[in-house]
Amino acid sequence: MILLLTIFLLVHGAIGQNVHLYIKSQLDDLRQAVAAGNLSKPGGGYLPSSSAMFTLTQDTQLSFLALANAYTCVKPSSPYLAEGMSMNFYSLTNMNAPFTEKQIVDTAFTRWIREPFVYGIGDDAIYNSTRIEGFANMIYYQATKYGCNVQTCRGPPISYALACVFDKKPVLNAPLYVVSPNKKGCTTDLDCQVALPFARCNVITHLCSATNDTNFIDLNPTTQATSTTVAETTSATTVESTTEASSTTASATTTTTTPTTSMSTATTTTTTSISTATTTTTTTPTTSMSTATTTTTTTPTTSMLTTTTTTATSPTTSMPTTTTTPTTSILTTTTTTTTSMPTTTTTTPSSVGIITEELRLKIINMHNYRRSRLARGFVPNGRTGRKLPTGTNIFRLTYSIELESAAQEYANTCPSEGSTSLSEMGENLASISSNTKSFHDCIYEAIKSFWSQIKTESINDRVVFTEKLMTRAKGPKKFTQMAWATTQKVGCGAQRCGANTVVVCRYSPRGNIVNESIYRQGPVCSACPYGGCSTDDNQPGLCPAFKLN
């Protein structure tokens, strides 16, 4: 099923990895701001902080639904969603210059995040109006998976749409998240387990991660109200036609009455056997909401492609359903796959357990320590005998699991040079001449080597990444990427490759852009977009990513 969905996404216009990473970073940034109590609210002040705010994980099936809903650039009257999901939808018609996918994402996210400022939200973080559904969907604590897709419809005129589907919908008149006064996000697993048993805390991002157990603790068990869809559409003849964010839930067309009990169980078992291949896949999705049990077996004898038979189960017993394509029954709560493969020998580098929490903390501290020294004017400019000037706008980096995943994937290929296919991410790569040193020591050595380029190779006094610097054989380009002021996230991976160990670090947003400043010269933190310096006394002189209290 995942393979078929992936093929569909590739054929019908799925967005690229860089845009996915950008969306992921925007969602996590928002949730980190809420968790830390750094998100402003109407009338002044900030929304209450939370020690149990969860990170979001991109899901292939939800991305498929997002594409299905955005496919025509018009919001479907009956969105393709499973029970209990929610969706944000934004569309725009452009009469002039074309937009990039990132511009569409920025415009849509700005609208959704702005909703509380237009319609209000209380100090208790109660979801009290469907007019803030777009914002509510993005921060709802029980939503741990999402899928987004940007679609371009050629027209004329050219239209665009962004749909983001979340695995859970917020409940009207109930809290959007666990309110934890005077917190800055989670610091221990116990903080997260207030909301979800067995959840884990990432002490770097201060966001929680869900485990296989997704039975969240209800913050308001007596609340039975459900969210009602509100679609607000504005048409502008010259620039845009907008369908603002809606928390949309699937409402199958039925001829029976909605059941009074919503926690019955359903089991759908699909077994596919392909006689021309030696692979047998057994998938057992389980969904709640039905007492029916259906077993479907499909056995093609000549095709190498799996024929998928979808059996839709409805939220009530014996309830006829009007099926809309794409069908929403492809989504499952639990999937178990057993695969029997032909006997072959394949050598794949193992990356399990390479980057530990301790190592992530080391990576981020090594970067920020050096960026802090640069911002305060302590870094020598090669062999000129002068120090580099102080910086006004150098961000404090945060660690990104998404960037780590991308870096690890590339490291697993044992590359000898940097990737040539990156456009939105920056990259530094080092090959350490040892396969016996610990990964900790190899990564430590690699990061030091990136920065040490500036000890022997200088940059111009204007601190601009020039064409000459870009093409110079020994130009300190690894240093400039590591020092790039507007980069805000980093993630690294490593792999044993023969007698060496390859270390890859990825950065977002990327640096080393020709004719742009590596950083702005001037008084420390004077150009931080959210006010003064970060409050981290161990790494002074860096700008925070969000506004501080």
- Assigned CATH for 2-251: 3.40.33.10
| Fold topology of 357-517 | Pathogenesis-related Protein p14a (3.40.33)
- Cite the DSSP H helix spans in 140-222: 189-193
Statement: residue 175 has pLDDT above 80: yes
- Measured CA to CA in angstroms, residue 445 lies from 115, 355, 364, 480 at distances of 46, 15, 14, 17
- pLDDT score for 546: 60
The answer to which of 116-120, 210-214, 507-511, 524-528 has the lowest mean pLDDT is: 210-214
Residue 264's contacts (CB-CB under 8 Å, 6 or more residues apart) are 288, 289, 290, 291, 317
pLDDT band of residue 94 (cuts 50, 70, 90) is low
- pLDDT score for 79: 93
**Mean pLDDT computed over 110-115:** 87
- Locate CATH 3.40.33.10 in the chain: 2-251, 357-517
**Mean pLDDT computed over 170-189:** 92
The answer to which of 11-20, 62-71, 304-313 has the lowest mean pLDDT is: 304-313
pLDDT, tens only, 401-450: 889 999 999 999 999 888 876 777 899 999 999 999 999 999 999 999 99
* Nearest-10 crossing angle of helices 2-11, 60-70: 40
- pLDDT score for 20: 86
Angle, CA of 440, 441 and 444, to the nearest 5°: 85
d(CA 380, CA 388): 6
- Cite the DSSP H helix spans in 289-387: 357-375
- Cite the DSSP H helix spans in 2-132: 2-11, 17-35, 60-70, 101-119
Return phi, psi of residue 2, to 5°.
Answer: -60, -40
Tokens of 149: 């897709």
Q: Which residue shows structure tokens 């991109």?
A: 58
Beta bridge partners of 162: 90, 150
Statement: residue 506 has pLDDT above 70: yes
- pLDDT score for 208: 94
SS percent in the chain: helix, strand, coil, step 5: 25, 20, 55
**Mean pLDDT computed over 42-49:** 80
Q: Are strands 200-202 and 207-209 parallel, antiparallel or unpaired?
A: antiparallel
- pLDDT score for 349: 55
Report the mean per-residue pLDDT for the chain.
Answer: 76
- Measured CA to CA in angstroms, residue 216 lies from 140, 174, 385, 524 at distances of 12, 14, 59, 44
pLDDT, tens only, 81-91: 999 999 999 99
Q: Which residue shows structure tokens 């089991």?
A: 267
**Mean pLDDT computed over 508-535:** 88
**Mean pLDDT computed over 19-31:** 89
Dihedral over Cα of 245, 246, 248, 253: its sign: negative
Segment of 43-47, 120-124, 311-315, 543-547 carrying the highest mean pLDDT? 120-124
The answer to which of 374-388, 414-428, 512-526 has the lowest mean pLDDT is: 414-428
- Measured CA to CA in angstroms, residue 513 lies from 206, 375, 424, 469 at distances of 31, 20, 11, 11
pLDDT above 90 covers a percentage of the chain that reads: 50
d(CA 32, CA 26): 10
Statement: residue 54 has pLDDT above 50: yes
d(CA 83, CA 500): 50
Contact between 119 and 131 (Cβ < 8 Å): yes
Residue 412's contacts (CB-CB under 8 Å, 6 or more residues apart) are 348, 349, 351, 493, 495
pLDDT, tens only, 386-405: 999 999 999 999 898 889 99
- pLDDT score for 330: 34
Read off the pTM.
0.48
DSSP reduced 3-state for 385 = coil
d(CA 150, CA 164): 9
Statement: residue 499 has pLDDT above 80: yes
pLDDT band of residue 95 (cuts 50, 70, 90) is low
- pLDDT score for 41: 73
**Residue of 329, 239, 54, 26 whose CA lies nearest to 148:** 26
Q: Which residue shows structure tokens 């209290």?
A: 549
- pLDDT score for 97: 61
Statement: residue 139 has pLDDT above 70: yes
- pLDDT score for 14: 59
Who has greater pLDDT, 102 or 126? 126
- pLDDT score for 418: 84
Statement: residue 177 has pLDDT above 50: yes
pLDDT band of residue 227 (cuts 50, 70, 90) is very low
Statement: residue 45 has pLDDT above 50: yes
Who has greater pLDDT, 227 or 216? 216
pLDDT above 70 covers a percentage of the chain that reads: 70
The answer to which of 97-101, 303-307, 512-516 has the lowest mean pLDDT is: 303-307
